[in-house]
Structure 1
Amino acid sequence: MWLLKGPIVTLKLTCVASLLATALLSSSLSAEPITFTDVTGQTITLPAPPMRIVTLPNPAASTVIALDGKADRIVGMNEGSKRAFAGGMMGVMFPEAAGITSDILAESGGWMPNVEAIAALHPDLVIQWGQRGDDIVAPLRNAGLPVALMVGGGNSGTEELARENMRMAAEITGQMEKFDQLIAWRDRVMDELAAGFEQAGEIDKPRILHLRSAKTKLTATGERSYQNVFIELVGGQNGAAGLGVDGTVSAEQILEWNPDIILLSAAEGDAGLEAIYDDSLLSKLDAAKNRRVYKTPQGGYIWDSASHESPFTWMWLANLAHPDLFHFDLRQELRDGFGLLYAYDLSEDQIDRILRLDVNGKQQGYQVFAAK
């Protein structure tokens, strides 16, 4: 009998493999087509929900992962996204993302796709910037790759476009219920801000300057930036209004503006508060004298860009801009928000890291964010 045992086992294994292959094929064939609208209004139909996605815009990878709750759909992201993952909490929460390739752009710092490298990843969908010229989109479509477009993320755009980018990610990943929860969260924070201002009546609006870069050059964001959106939302006035989206400025120009608060971008990881305090001119600003210079926090994404985490930015800046008016418990908001966004339980040390207590801890008003 033992002579027959080997062939019988082999036959059984072969049958199991055959059944598994048949089940997988059947599952693939039975997958329902997916139709969604990108942020430019283009209707896209795919034969099945995309399981291999390449993202070229900086915020796209983290937005898709936040809505999906996992990182396994992303097979390619640009190098800016990967730096944000490494510098923030995304790399901690989704360590497998460290292996995602970022060699998908034709040149560093641009948006022209490396079509050959992207095609080699066999993507079901490529997400690219819209309204930045057809030259960065056409090569992908000419290669037969399905493309969906985001608009207005990062430094430019509006709250409406930020929501549309999230909506598209939710439709792609089948997470519309979670999207509704995130929109309700944004609306709740906006309503609390509006109620606070209504109750306060007339307020003094601090002049807030956001510096996109502060180390090798000074780049301020103007009235057509997303930074302007949240500056005005929290009852501030943009010190660089008139620049458009952004523009290179001099220290002398900033001295003339003399802002009450300066925000340094989280995207410029190597620029700390010394960019202001160690400068012979900028250190004379009211913001510097009153210690109201802050390095913007970074959670799953950079807080001073339009993203799914923007309500954190609004509450953080509202507490700093109007400490007598707003008292958001940002540490609890972070625990609740990260549970909703990422199903992740933050430790106290991780909250300190997100809020940059080591950098900002001695700045005016920042003690409100320390652990009780």
Structure 2
Amino acid sequence: MFRRKAMLTTLALAAMALAACSDKEGTTPAIETGGEIQTTVEEKIIIDQAGTEVTIPGEVNSIVSGGILPYFHTWYVATNSAKEIVGMHPNSYNAAENSILAKMAPEILNADTSFVKNGEMNVEELLNIKPDVYFELSTDEKSIEATRKAGINTVAIKAIDEAAAEPLATFNSWLQLTGEIANTTDRADKFIEVGTAVQEEIYEKIGDLTKEQKPNALMMYQLSEQAITVGGKNFFGNQWLNATGANDVAEDEVTGRKDINMEQIYEWNPDIIYLTNFTPIQPEDLYNNTIPGQDWSSVDAVKNKQVYKIPLGIYRWFPPSGDAPLMLKWLANNNQPELFNYDMNAEIKSYYKDFYDFDVTDEEVEQILHPSSDAAKY
């Protein structure tokens, strides 16, 4: 269970660990003395999430976000600016153009995606974009090695906070590091304050629930005619469900992500199914049995019309995002409707006004809560 104390401890540790990254600005030209690099006033050294020291400009004016798909919007959340985002992964771009961020900061759609073709990063194309800093998934060692060899300042970002795959803790760790790079921490501090308050509010009502009092739910990461991919333990879906009063049917048999078959779905027979925005499939596709080779008609979640498409606001709500407090409330409504009745229209408007200083219309709220399938295409 996503325990309140565990979450607070994880958040605190993430913040402390990243705060320990030093800003080593110097006043002399860059020279090597006794094996130690001294930087100029125009440069600084940060420690990325793979533990590597990276020298970057003291003022970062252009960034590119690669295989760490949510990162581009993290920069905006931390800095309140999108003008520095000159490039991003095509999958990120499809999320961006279908998000409210495209209206909040339309310049985000000027980002170049040419450096990724068929899922592969091209160093020559990336060099043409000329980023001050390139952000890449920490496990993509091949790309990181290639970009650094080409002289591109590359910062590795972990997709999941190692402590517990908690979306709040993970996103806060990204904000903390981004704040260090961009010389601002206000948004990171506010995010952890708001997110912690929402989780405590929810936990007060679900903390004493028994397993029998919780619905059995399944997080469908990707779904198509070719594959059924679900998330389980040590992945974001598991923490979202545990944090909002549901049992994760996959947690005892799946770690991370895994392809399964319909027989496994029938065995689990979830009461609720959540579809991420990494699949174009909509609830109606399951209700109408439109996926070739799959019969969903006997699954309780389908029979009872409890299949939900996860919203997409400033970014997709399934992975860590700046809208994480809203994701908690939306899930709590679905998983424990007798305990929670958040007015999501009012909640979204209030959050966006307070956190982003942006006025959201009723029509835009509907677009957030019912995202297009186009957001999953790339």
**What residue identity is the alignment partner of 1:97?**
I
Could you tell me how far apart the structure 2 residues matched to 1:340 and 1:179 are? 14
Could you tell me how far apart the structure 1 residues matched to 2:41 and 2:288 are? 59
Note the C-alpha offset of 1:322.
0.3
Could you tell me how far apart the structure 2 residues matched to 1:332 and 1:231 are? 23
Aligned to 1:193: 202
1:117 is the counterpart of 2:128: no
Note the C-alpha offset of 1:267.
2.5
The question of whether the paired residues in 1 share the 8 Å contact of 2:172 and 2:188 is answered with no
Identity of aligned residues (%): 25
Aligned to 2:14: none
The question of whether the paired residues in 1 share the 8 Å contact of 2:64 and 2:85 is answered with yes
Decide which of 299, 308, 313 is 1:294's aligned counterpart.
Answer: 308
1:129 is the counterpart of 2:137: yes
Deviation string 1:193-215 (CA, Å, 9 cap, x unpaired) is 11112476786121111111223
**Unpaired segments ≥5 residues, structure 1:** 1-29, 360-372
Distance of aligned partners of 1:328 and 1:36 in 2 relative to their CA distance in 1, 3 Å threshold: farther
Aligned to 1:182: 191
Could you tell me how far apart the structure 1 residues matched to 2:190 and 2:171 are? 15
For residue 36 of structure 1, give the secondary structure of its aligned residue in structure 2: strand
TM-score where L is the length of structure 2: 0.79
Aligned to 2:64: 54
Aligned to 2:322: 308
* Count of aligned positions: 324
Distance of aligned partners of 1:358 and 1:147 in 2 relative to their CA distance in 1, 3 Å threshold: closer
Aligned to 1:352: 366
**Unpaired segments ≥5 residues, structure 2:** 1-39, 374-378
Distance of aligned partners of 1:99 and 1:92 in 2 relative to their CA distance in 1, 3 Å threshold: same
For residue 283 of structure 1, give the secondary structure of its aligned residue in structure 2: coil
Decide which of 278, 281, 287 is 1:271's aligned counterpart.
Answer: 281
Alignment of 1:73-222 (within 5 A): 73-105=84-116, 107-109=117-119, 112-130=120-138, 132-152=139-159, 157-159=165-167, 160-198=169-207, 204-216=213-225, 217-222=227-232
Distance of aligned partners of 1:32 and 1:345 in 2 relative to their CA distance in 1, 3 Å threshold: farther
For residue 218 of structure 2, give the secondary structure of its aligned residue in structure 1: strand
**What residue identity is the alignment partner of 2:268?**
W
After superposition, the CA RMSD in angstroms is 2.4
Note the C-alpha offset of 1:35.
4.1
The question of whether the paired residues in 1 share the 8 Å contact of 2:352 and 2:358 is answered with yes
Decide which of 295, 320, 328 is 1:281's aligned counterpart.
Answer: 295
Could you tell me how far apart the structure 1 residues matched to 2:250 and 2:63 are? 37
Deviation string 1:48-74 (CA, Å, 9 cap, x unpaired) is 221111111210111111221121001
Distance of aligned partners of 1:39 and 1:329 in 2 relative to their CA distance in 1, 3 Å threshold: farther
For residue 209 of structure 1, give the secondary structure of its aligned residue in structure 2: strand
1:38 is the counterpart of 2:48: yes
Could you tell me how far apart the structure 2 residues matched to 1:184 and 1:303 are? 19
The question of whether the paired residues in 2 share the 8 Å contact of 1:151 and 1:157 is answered with no
Aligned to 2:247: 237
TM-score where L is the length of structure 1: 0.81
Note the C-alpha offset of 1:134.
2.1
For residue 149 of structure 1, give the secondary structure of its aligned residue in structure 2: strand
The question of whether the paired residues in 2 share the 8 Å contact of 1:113 and 1:140 is answered with no
Deviation string 1:269-322 (CA, Å, 9 cap, x unpaired) is x31113311227312111112111111111010011122222211110111100
Note the C-alpha offset of 1:191.
0.7
Note the C-alpha offset of 1:253.
1.4
Could you tell me how far apart the structure 2 residues matched to 1:162 and 1:246 are? 20
Deviation string 1:85-144 (CA, Å, 9 cap, x unpaired) is 112212222222222111122x423xx5311111111211111111x1421211111111
**What residue identity is the alignment partner of 2:222?**
S
Larger Rg, first or second structure (1 or 2):
1
Distance of aligned partners of 1:47 and 1:233 in 2 relative to their CA distance in 1, 3 Å threshold: same
Aligned to 1:342: 356
The question of whether the paired residues in 2 share the 8 Å contact of 1:210 and 1:265 is answered with yes
Between 1:324-333 and 1:50-59, the stretch displaced more is: 324-333
For residue 134 of structure 2, give the secondary structure of its aligned residue in structure 1: strand
Could you tell me how far apart the structure 1 residues matched to 2:150 and 2:360 are? 43
Between 1:278-287 and 1:343-352, the stretch displaced more is: 278-287
1:255 is the counterpart of 2:266: yes
